[in-house]
Amino acid sequence: MDKLTRRLRDDASQIRADVSPELDARIRASLEAVEPVNAESPKPAPRTPSMWWWSSLVGATSAIAVIVLLNLGTQPELPVPTENGVPTLAPSLNIERAVLTAPLEAELENLESDLRKAEEALRADIGLDRRAEDTPDGS
Amino acid sequence: MSEELTLIDSAKAGSVGAFTELVGRYRGGLLRFLITRCASVADAEDALQDTMINAYRYLASYDPRWRFSTWLYRIAIRNAAKQRRDGFAGIDDVADQGPDPLAMCIDASERENLWVTAKRVLNDDVYTAMWLRYVEDMSINDVAAVLERSGSWTKVNLMRARKALDAELNAPGTQSEAYG
């Protein structure tokens, strides 16, 4: 132990600090009046690995959706051929409409086509049934 | 250590007797430390009482990986700071604070007590680090934990504090023959 350390200890021991019986009684009385707080608070349930997968998936999907939406709003204006063959810049509103509605129109056409086919199939079925009812022997 | 853990378990279950026995060995040292940190002896006694109450109340949050004294001193430092804040809030004039309790608790001597010197030349945290390291014999890690500082901060500042005290003691006009 070096000189400074020894002197620090010696000088600390010269500081009078006696816990008087009054202070002792006061502390004890205070402790009797206090209830220990139970730290056994319910812990949150541990997260399962599938939850991490789901949260990652949701996060990635949200990020992709944001990127797509941002890119849709900033698409460059496409040159549109005019009657004299010189391409001109069309207003962004028309471009957006063309980009957004084209797939919907295709879908609509497909749906209408499906509907027509279903209707024809139904009619054919009904026609066969009627023909079957018309012939008494069922042939 | 195992005896201490047994007392902690009993105190956690609500035994005031076990708690009193547990803190009995630290009480005197804590009061001495608080006297050096508070504005008056009465404040130091209040801070000691608050420390005991808080320690008993929140004993369930004590982490046995740390020494019990480390946890106790951490509470004591917070209570000393609170006492000083409350004390200063009610005092308009600094001169009204009264004599330094540390000076009052030291017998008249030919030379200045080194802790009075330390209080004069060191800031609060460094002073506390010196006390915990050299009086309470805590490890650097424990001192850092009490002060909520890094180990390197503690090490560097302890070294600087020693140099500062050395310089103060060896300065011309001081009673250097009393040192050592």
Q: Which of B90, B105, B120 is the last residue of a domain?
A: B105
Single-letter code of the amino acid located at B115: W
DSSP state of B68: H
Bridge partners of A79?
A89
pLDDT given for residue B142 in this prediction: 92
Residue from the list B27, B105, B180 with its beta carbon closest to the beta carbon of A15: B105
B148 & B134 share domain: yes
Angle between helices B41-57 and A21-32 (to 10 degrees): 30
Q: Which residues contact A27 (CB under 8 A, 6 or more apart)?
A: B48, B49, B52, B53
The 3-state DSSP class for residue A124 equals helix
- Position A96 in a domain: yes
Residue from the list A15, A35, A40 with its beta carbon closest to the beta carbon of B115: A15
B6 & B90 share domain: yes
Q: Is the pLDDT of residue A48 over 50?
A: yes
Q: Which residue has the tokens 């946890």?
A: B71
Tell me the chain B residues in contact with residue A9 when contact means C-beta distances shorter than 8 Å. 134-135
Assign A55 a pLDDT band (cuts: 50, 70, 90).
confident
Q: Which of B76, B105, B134 is the last residue of a domain?
A: B105
Range of the domain at A98: 90-139
Number of domains in chain B: 2
Q: Which helix (H) or strand (E) holds A88?
A: strand A88-89
Q: Is the pLDDT of residue B178 over 50?
A: no
Assign B33 a pLDDT band (cuts: 50, 70, 90).
very high
B115 & B78 share domain: no
Query: Which CATH number characterizes residue B146's domain?
Result: 1.10.10.10
Write out B10-46 in H/E/C secondary structure.
HHHCCCHHHHHHHHHHHHHHHHHHHHHHCCCHHHHHH
Shortest distance between the Cα of A2 and any Cα of chain B, in A, equals: 9
B42 & B72 share domain: yes
- Position A131 in a domain: yes
B126 & B51 share domain: no
Number of domains in chain A: 1
B100 & B142 share domain: no
Cβ burial, residue B4 (10 Å; 0-12/13-18/19+): middle
Q: Which of B74, B148, B135 is nearest to A15 (CA)?
A: B135
Q: Which residue has the tokens 């009480």?
A: B27
- Position A67 in a domain: no
Determine what percent of chain B is predicted with pLDDT higher than 70. 81
Tell me the chain B residues in contact with residue A38 when contact means C-beta distances shorter than 8 Å. 60
- Position A95 in a domain: yes
pLDDT given for residue B84 in this prediction: 79
pTM of the full structure:
0.61
Range of the domain at B152: 108-180
Radius of gyration of chain B (CA): 18
Cβ burial, residue B173 (10 Å; 0-12/13-18/19+): exposed
Residue from the list A4, A36, A39 with its beta carbon closest to the beta carbon of B165: A4
pLDDT given for residue B95 in this prediction: 47
Query: Which CATH number characterizes residue B66's domain?
Result: 1.10.1740.10
A72-115 per-position pLDDT tens digit: 766 555 555 555 655 555 555 555 555 556 677 788 888 999 99
B100-127 per-position pLDDT tens digit: 666 666 666 667 888 989 988 999 999 9
Cβ-contact B49, A26 below 8 angstroms: yes
Tell me the chain A residues in contact with residue B48 when contact means C-beta distances shorter than 8 Å. 19, 23, 27
- Lowest average pLDDT, out of A76-80, B74-78, B129-133, goes to A76-80
Tell me the chain B residues in contact with residue A32 when contact means C-beta distances shorter than 8 Å. 16
Assign A139 a pLDDT band (cuts: 50, 70, 90).
very low
As a whole number, the mean pLDDT across chain A is: 75
Q: Is the pLDDT of residue B179 over 50?
A: no
Distance, in Å, from the CA atom of A50 to the CA atom of A61, rounded to the nearest integer, reads 16
Q: Which of B58, B79, B105 is the last residue of a domain?
A: B105
Distance, in Å, from the CA atom of B180 to the CA atom of B167, rounded to the nearest integer, reads 14
